[in-house]
């Protein structure tokens, strides 16, 4: 479990925020936001009432629905991310369950998390994103000469 907490207004789907959302996925899907778990020392009361135009459950549901949509577009790789960060399986267990190589599971989880990052959804499909990412990584690798 992480000790990091984010307010719903600060969510931009950064790497730390993705892990926070995945850890609290069930709570968010139920329409509740995780509490911050700090003592403020404040003992006063609200001087006035503020009326909101939407229910308290709307923002958590919208935020986790967006992440779920991004993960769904990643197919099996999105399932691996959920298995790792929501359901608590490690990469070895996921490799065994899905009949994959351990290093392949690690790479697929990393790629899916990278695809899900960002304030806005990627315009390209996950398959196109993976192709472009692989060509970029090949360009960055040092060329070995014999």
Query: How high is the pLDDT of residue 139?
Result: 62
CA atoms within 13 Å, Cβ hemisphere of 131: 5
Among candidate residues 77, 133, 142, the one with its CA nearest the CA of residue 104? 77
| Torsion sign (Cα): 113, 75, 20, 58 | positive
Instruction: Pull the structure tokens for residue 23.
Output: 């850890």
Q: Which residue has the higher pLDDT, 83 or 2?
A: 83
Query: How high is the pLDDT of residue 140?
Result: 61
Residues whose CB falls within 8 Å of the CB of residue 27, separated by 6 or more in sequence, listed in order? 33, 34, 60
Query: How high is the pLDDT of residue 95?
Result: 98
Query: How high is the pLDDT of residue 44?
Result: 47
Query: How high is the pLDDT of residue 39?
Result: 57
Please give the average per-residue pLDDT across 48-62, as a whole number. 71
Q: Which residue has the higher pLDDT, 25 or 4?
A: 25
Please write the tens of the pLDDT for every residue from 128-144: 999 988 766 666 666 55
Is residue 59 within 8 Å of residue 8, measured between CB atoms? yes
Instruction: Pull the structure tokens for residue 15.
Output: 């790497």
Tokens 């790789």 locate to 77
State the Cα–Cα distance between residues 140 and 122, nearest whole angstrom: 22
- The answer on pLDDT for 104 being more than 70 is yes
pTM for the predicted model, two decimal places? 0.80
What CA–CA distances, in Å, run from 107 to 6, 113, 134? 27, 10, 11
Query: How high is the pLDDT of residue 60?
Result: 93
Query: How high is the pLDDT of residue 101?
Result: 97
State the Cα–Cα distance between residues 81 and 87, nearest whole angstrom: 9
């Amino acid at each position: 479990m992480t000790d990091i907490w984010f307010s719903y207004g600060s969510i931009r789907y950064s790497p730390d925020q993705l892990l926070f959302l995945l850890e609290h996925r069930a709570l968010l899907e139920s329409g509740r936001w995780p509490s911050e778990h700090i003592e403020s020392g404040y003992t006063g009361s609200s001087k006035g009432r503020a009326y909101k135009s939407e229910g308290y459950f709307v923002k958590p549901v919208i935020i986790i629905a967006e992440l779920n949509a991004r993960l769904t577009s990643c197919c099996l790789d999105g399932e691996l991310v959920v298995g790792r960060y929501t359901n608590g399986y490690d990469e070895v267990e996921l490799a065994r369950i899905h009949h994959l190589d351990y290093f392949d599971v690690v790479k697929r989880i990393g790629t899916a998390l990278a695809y899900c990052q960002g304030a806005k959804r990627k315009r390209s499909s996950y398959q196109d994103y993976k192709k472009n990412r692989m060509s970029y990584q090949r360009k960055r690798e040092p060329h070995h000469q014999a």
